[in-house]
Amino acid sequence: MDISGLKSEHRYRDVLERFSLEVTVKDASQLSDLSPDIPKGTLISVPYLSSDSGNVRISAAKTIRQLGFEPMPHIAARRFGTEAELSDALSDFVREAQVTRLLILAGDLDPPKGAFRDTAAILRSGVLQQHAIRHVAIAGHPEGHSSQSAGMLTEAISEKRRILEALDLEWSIFTQFTFSAVPVLDWIIGVRSRGITVPIHVGIPGPASIRTLMRFASVCGVSASTAVLKKYGLSITQLLSSAGPDVLVDDYAAAMIDGVYGDIRLHFYPFGGVRKSVEWIRGYRR
């Protein structure tokens, strides 16, 4: 019996076993039709968009919970004017959708609306414990950040780790999306070398037109050089063509065979729509 072959097959099957998915409030209504292809308990994050009201974000989280999935709203620290405002938002999420997990980001509002300049400020406030939040996800930037150096990003994760562990909160890291696994895997090795063993959810761009993928890459500061796109299976001469993340997911599946990367999972950003991403996942699993 070829044990190595069985191990490889098992890893390729496992690459999608614990995937997570980002769903905007306007797409949450589609989840009912798509739910047969999404395992119960799947983690579904609800991004913070300034155009969305608090009520529609709560409604989306409630829909996710009612369908048997795990809602994880995004909290943009700089968008909250006071601790009371944040507390009210969390109270609504907990009451209406039984939320226990949050992805907390600094956000891009400059200057901040209130006292919360970054994720660490919310962690230190004590408001999470008041609402029985058990798990906090933080952001990871394998390809860097436009306003922070690599050293600043490293220290930011270390600072959040110290606070979260002191509070005895479960935590994880969600990365920006990339078109190549190489910089992400190299970054993960650096994270693991600092003794951080928490799950890392690596960002996967869901299937979309090449024009759409390029637009999101530009907005998010993601590397989209011709060489990177070619490896991903894209060509800038075919902007209206649609592309899926097959090559990228294959690369992560292969990396899972090697235990040095620890607990890594896939997090899909459905740039071409949640339906396209779920259908792609269904096809890949088959």
Average pLDDT over residues 214-240: 53
Q: Give the chain's domain count.
A: 1
Q: What is the pLDDT of residue 125?
A: 95
Q: What is the pTM of this model?
A: 0.87
In a domain, 34, yes or no: yes
Strands (E), the chain: 20-22, 43-46, 70-76, 101-105, 135-140, 170-177, 200-205, 208-209, 242-243, 264-269
In a domain, 238, yes or no: yes
In a domain, 32, yes or no: yes
Q: What is the pLDDT of residue 199?
A: 97
Supply the range of the domain harboring residue 69. Answer: 11-285
Task: Count Cβ neighbours within 10 Å for each residue of 32-45 and write b for 16 or more, e otherwise.
Answer: eebeeebeeebbbb
pLDDT at 228 > cutoff 80: no
Q: Is pLDDT larger for residue 146 or for residue 74?
A: 74
Find the CATH number of the domain harbouring 138.
3.20.20.220
Q: Tell me the per-residue pLDDT of 37-59, one tens digit each, with 9 for 90 and over.
A: 999 999 999 998 888 888 999 99
Q: What is the pLDDT of residue 150?
A: 82
In a domain, 57, yes or no: yes
Q: What is the pLDDT of residue 117?
A: 92
Q: Mean pLDDT of all residues in the chain? A: 86
Q: What is the pLDDT of residue 4?
A: 41
In a domain, 5, yes or no: no
Tokens found for residue 13: 């099957």
Q: What is the pLDDT of residue 126?
A: 94
> Widest CA span of the chain, in angstroms?
63
In a domain, 6, yes or no: no
pLDDT at 217 > cutoff 90: no
Task: Count Cβ neighbours within 10 Å for each residue of 192-210 and write b for 16 or more, e otherwise.
Answer: beeebebbbbbbbbbbbbb
Q: What is the pLDDT of residue 236?
A: 46
Q: In this structure, what are the phi and psi dihedrals at residue 22, rounded to the nearest 5 degrees?
A: -100, 135
80-84, 113-117, 251-255: which is most confident: 80-84
